[in-house]
Each structure stands twice: as C-alpha cells, then as structure tokens.
Amino acid sequence: MGKGKGFGKVILFNEHFVVYGIPSIVSAIDLKTTAVVEKHTKNQVILDDQRPATKGYKEEKKKHRKESLNRILKKMEKENHPLKITLGGNLVAASGIGASAASCVAIARAINEEFNMELTEEEINAVAFEGEKGYHGSPSGVDNTAATYGGLIWFKKGAPDVMERLKIKTPLGIVMGNTGVVANTKLAVKNVRQKKEKYPCLYEKIFTHAEQVVEHAKEALMSYNLTELGECMNKNHSLLQKIAVSNKNLDFLVQLARETGALGAKLTGGGLGGYMVALTPGSTLQEKVARAITREGFYALKTRIGV
Ligand code: PMV
C-alpha cells in the first residue's frame, strides 16, 4: 500500500495573470488531501473519492478527474496496472482552494511509494502538473507547486518556472469564504484568453498593473506591512473584476469582509464562484470576519499563511 498527501492552497495574488507569466504569490494551507494506492486483482483502475466536498463538486468534476488520473498514470507509466486509489483527507474539495492539485500530488506520491519509484519532489510536481491539465487545460503550475512544496511561495511561470520561498516573521491569519458555487476553471481561463485577444491594449494595461501590484505586495509581505498588503489585495481584486472573473457572490463576500474589518479581501483561484480570501491578522478579527460570512449563510474557513 502506498500513501501520499498534497496541500490545499490559497492564491494571494495574480491568479489568471500567472498563466501569462506575471508573477504570483501563493500559500499552502494546513489542510490536505490524502491518497492511498493498493494493487488489486480486477483488471481496472478504481478511484474511490472519499473527500469531503462542496455540494455538486464531485459530480461536476467527474470527467476532469478521470482525464487527470489517466494523465497521471500515463506520465508515471502505470496505465496498465490494476490499482485502487482512495482519496480522503481534511481538505474540503471545492473550487478555488487547490483541491484538484492537492489530489494530483497525493496520488503521485502514493503511486511513487507503492512502486518504490523514488521520485524527487521536482518529479512529483511535474506529475501533478500533468494531472492538473485534466482540470485546467493549460495550467500555469502555481497550484501544483503549492500543493507539492507547501509554505509561502513567489511563483512565475516560464522556461524554467521561478519558485522562491518567502519567509515571513509570523504566520498570518486569513479567512476563506466559500460561495458554494462549483466553478469551471477551464472555462474561466478560456474567457480571459478570448477577451485578452479581443481587447489587447486594455488587457496590456491591466496586466502591467497586476505586475506592479504583486511586486508591491511582496515588499509589503516581507516588511510585514499588513495595511499595505491588504490594500494590494483590494487592488488585485479590482483587476480580477476588470478581467471579468469575479461574480456577485464573490464581490458580496469581499465587501462584507472589508466592512467587518479585514485589512484586504479578494477572490482566490479561478473565480466565477469558489472561494474568496480576507486578510485577518489576530484571532479576534479572524473570528469576527468568519462569523459575518457564516451569518450570511456561507461557509468560512479560518486558516493561516506563512506557517
Ligand atoms: O481555481 P483554482 O483554485 O484551481 O485556481 C486556478 C488558478 C488559475 O490562475 C486561474 C489557473 C492557473 O492555472 O494558474
């Protein structure tokens, strides 16, 4: 029996922009997906998905999940092995929290262990990237990188990708609010591409701005200037609104978090549903923002970045 884990994640800056080589900041969160791989005698691969999940998530992602698993098995040269793969863990599978990447990493690690493949972290990450294609089409690699390595990361897609670990002096409390809507990341990424082709000048300006925001955010993070960091998150959300990946529920939760005292708030992940994130240092503020979100009937997750 082989076992593996992958971290959930929160993109703090520049989802979507990251697809085009603009730097991003991402953090793993302390929730994980686990995978157990066992050889069996029936001539097929069985995937038993026991993860806790947002309503409708598993049904909606079934096709993507199958494609993802086939890609992982092919990349690891295990497509002809009868395997039972069981997914579990405490990460609630939902859009925007890196559920797909966490599962790809967990599966890659479990197969690696079961077959004593001795893959490096870099190779596990490469397998997970391949698996992510089943969900995203052409992923930037930010999600699988966070799910593999954990921690707080500066990530820039390129040849090769740039990954820099960011160390902050004390972990920071955040609240993640779930709209409960299962979003289609593939579609969101495609929409951005089409609009970018249609309005090149406008998008050029927005993308330049996104690059400035993330550079500024990095400085704020490293100097632990939380007011500045929160402002950068707010600016990032405006840019994400401009490229049309936010929606009414996300904007509502972002506004609610800010009014409740969060230092900044934005959507996180592919958008069009899924999660938003609010910067809430200190347990009192974190509790207050989480309670405000819950009171409106949404699910709120309290966690930390930079652990
Ligand atoms: O929706 P999520 O949590 O899988 O995040 C997607 C992030 C994007 O930037 C929109 C896509 C990507 O591949 O980076």
| Ligand 1 pocket residue status of 140, Cβ below 6 Å | yes
Same domain, 186 and 146: no
Same domain, 208 and 290: yes
Whether the per-residue pLDDT at 41 is higher than 90: the answer is no
Same domain, 162 and 280: no
Residues 64-78 pLDDT 10s: 999 999 999 999 999
Three-state helix/strand/coil letters over 193-234: HHHHHHCHHHHHHHHHHHHHHHHHHHHHHHCCCHHHHHHHHH
Residue 30's SS3 state is: strand
| Ligand 1 pocket residue status of 271, Cβ below 6 Å | no
**Minimum-distance ligand 1 atom for the alpha carbon of 97:** 3
**Minimum-distance ligand 1 atom for the alpha carbon of 136:** 13
143 is catalytic: yes
Give the percent of the chain with pLDDT over 90.
Answer: 94
Whether the per-residue pLDDT at 137 is higher than 90: the answer is no
Same domain, 159 and 260: no
Same domain, 72 and 143: yes
Whether the per-residue pLDDT at 43 is higher than 90: the answer is no
Closest to 128 in 3D by CA, of 109, 153, 154? 109
Token pair 């993640």 is found at: 176
Residue 80's SS3 state is: coil
Whichever domain contains 261, its CATH number is 3.30.70.890
Same domain, 210 and 157: no
Mean pLDDT of 76-83: 94
Give the percent of the chain with pLDDT over 70.
Answer: 100
Same domain, 109 and 186: no
Confidence category of residue 307, pLDDT binned at 50, 70, 90: confident
* Full residue range of the structural domain in which residue 192 is found: 172-305
Same domain, 60 and 88: yes
Beta strands 264-268 and 299-305, pairing class = unpaired
Distance from residue 273's CA to the centre of ligand 1 (Å): 12
pLDDT the model gives residue 88:
98
Q: How many domains does the chain have?
A: 2
Same domain, 47 and 145: yes
pLDDT the model gives residue 186:
86
Same domain, 112 and 201: no
